[in-house]
Structure 1
Amino acid sequence: MIYVKRNPALIPEKVLKVAVRAQQELEAQPPENRKAFIESKGHVWRAFGRHLAKMSYGKCWYSESNDPQSFFDVDHFRPKKAAKRAEGVEDDGYPWLAFSWENFRYAAGRSNRLSTDEATEAVVGKGSWFPLLVGSVIADWANRCEKQETPVLLDPTVRNDVDLIDIDAEDGRACPGMTCIGPVKHERAKRSIEIYGLNLGNLITARKRVMRDVQEDYQNLMDICAAGNDMPAVERLRAKLRRATLPSAPYSRAARAMLYSLLPYGPHFCAQPEDEPEMLA
């Protein structure tokens, strides 16, 4: 999972206005017509897809995948028509957020849609899942108190949530992070990894490929530095390691995890805030 700083300036005004108009029309619908109305307006949230993608350099906000052969969706973080709280427990969800762009997340198909993990045969994917912690208030149409809820699922737009998941430098698997202290945080991280499908085999393979390249570049850099005779090569490798850990790089969390495991110098080669590229136009 990657932290995504949402930037409304990247969304054309006409796209925002269509969503506002759809929201106004939804508010006027009788309760029995709301679901059908929302279903008829899928083009409204789909129009946000490419603009949301710019905010994450084309990467899925949950898995960090940028696979050009994958289908990407505009996911409703809080489900728009039905919210699954537990097995066999479901309610009407958050229809009033169907056209709220702040509820949209750019998601690769396998993080967003239900599918079977080929290795474990477990069903993964967000689907309509939106469990809440025990004791949480539950928002509804009449009481839109969603900001007071305590979700189980980690939100890629909340930096503290993102920090609860890390990548294991040994096996490339997503796991609870160093700051994931206490049973509640651990449960949130564990369930989010499961529901978002963050340990599907293809993701692990992609992360391990990135980490292997980082490890080889780091070792080459150390060897050249020890020989002390090729400064241009040193600079090229330093720049390559920085690029691998930029927010725009594929699976940059995995690249960072590998560098942080390569002590004592690895962390020094991670990209810094001043290296961050401009948001893609």
Structure 2
Amino acid sequence: MIFIDIQEVVATLSEDWRNEARAITKKLNEAENAVERKTIIAEHEGLWRQLKVKLAAAAYEKCWYCETFSYRSDNAVDHFRPKSRVYEEKTHPGYWWLAFSPDNYRFACTYCNSRRHDVGGTSGGKHDHFPLADGSPRAADPYTPLSVENALLLDPCWKSDTAAFWFDETGTVDVNPTFKKVDDHAEEKVRASRHFYHLDQVSLVEARRRVYAKVLRLCDQADHSFLSWQKTKDHSAKVAFREAMNSIARMRDRTAEHSAVAHCAIRGYRHSSISASLSYDSIV
């Protein structure tokens, strides 16, 4: 998961789109009951779908939750806070007042967005789930600030949340030890996000493992070329070192699939590898 600045997307919206969203939200506020609200939402769902291209571009066509490209699914616009109902609280009406709020939109693959059982024995998918920490109040209307909620699902639109995940050479998801120091619910949040975003799906774990291994392999190649250059002063060895460093940078770049995994690999290897150390210290 990498940080996505949702405000950059919001800033590109046309005044016509904003006006239509405001008009529909006004209708929702004036609706007499939940059935009427659901009808209004269903009749205008094409409005948020208009933003799919913009949302996809904000993350370089990657799912905002798992950092995969489109091969896992037909990606969709996800409502971070569910618009019609909340699985964890059966009497909750859903965050209907956010149905046409672009701040609540995320770009998600099918595995992260929909409930699925994988052939590898795993299950997950966000769907209508939005769990909160024990004791946390839940906003039930547009007059309660969302800040009262202590959400368990990590949000790519919060920089601090994207630092919560940690990946190792096996490709599995764990909690970043540093995140434990800033959030009392760190382990619970990583565990919930891993499940509801289906981040332990077998093929996804394998893809992350390959990225991690490739980064270490490139670091070893760069180190070997660097040492050869130091010893022989052979210019070709220097060029090989520079090319390997460029390859590492490409894997760490935000446009690359699973760039957060590449970053973890570099960080974990930086004390053993000069190329990993140089890459980690450089500005992405």
Report the 3-state secondary structure (helix = DSSP H, G, I; strand = E; otherwise coil) of the residue aligned with 2:240.
helix
Alignment of 1:184-203 (within 5 A): 184-203=185-204
Equivalent position of 2:29 in the other structure: 27
Q: Distance in 1 between matches of 2:220 and 2:171?
A: 19
Q: Distance in 2 between matches of 1:43 and 1:231?
A: 54
Q: Distance in 2 between matches of 1:17 and 1:203?
A: 40
How many residue pairs were aligned? Answer: 270
- 1:111-159 deviation line (CA, Å, top 9, x unaligned): 00000132234x3000100111111112112643222111111111111
Match of 2:238 among 231, 237, 243: 231
Instruction: State TM-score, norm by structure 2.
Output: 0.88
Are 1:51 and 2:54 an aligned pair?
yes
- Greater Rg by CA: 2
Equivalent position of 1:279 in the other structure: none
- 1:166-188 deviation line (CA, Å, top 9, x unaligned): 112x2011111122327622111
Residue segments in structure 2 that go unaligned for 5+ positions in a row: none
Residue segments in structure 1 that go unaligned for 5+ positions in a row: 276-281
1:17 CA displacement: 3.3
Q: Distance in 1 between matches of 2:94 and 2:30?
A: 18
Equivalent position of 1:250 in the other structure: 257
- Identity among equivalent positions (%) equals 27
Q: Is the 8 A contact 1:138 1:145 kept in 2?
A: no
Choose between structure 1 and 2: higher helix proportion.
2
**Pairwise CA RMSD:** 2.0
CA 271–198 in structure 1, closer or farther in 2 if over 3 Å, else same? farther
Q: Distance in 1 between matches of 2:23 and 2:138?
A: 27
- 1:23-58 deviation line (CA, Å, top 9, x unaligned): 223223222400111112110111111111121111
Equivalent position of 1:267 in the other structure: 277
Match of 1:9 among 8, 11, 31: 11
1:241 CA displacement: 0.8
Equivalent position of 2:136 in the other structure: 136
Q: Distance in 2 between matches of 1:9 and 1:174?
A: 33
Q: Distance in 2 between matches of 1:124 and 1:28?
A: 35
Please, which moves more after superposition, 103-112 or 27-36? 27-36
Q: Is the 8 A contact 2:72 2:111 kept in 1?
A: no
Q: Distance in 1 between matches of 2:282 and 2:109?
A: 27
Alignment of 1:1-281 (within 5 A): 1-6=1-6, 7=8, 8-31=10-33, 32-68=35-71, 70-85=73-88, 89=90, 91-121=92-122, 123-141=123-141, 143-168=143-168, 170-181=169-180, 184-228=185-229, 229=234, 230-262=237-269, 263-264=271-272, 265=274, 266-270=276-280, 272-273=282-283, 275=284
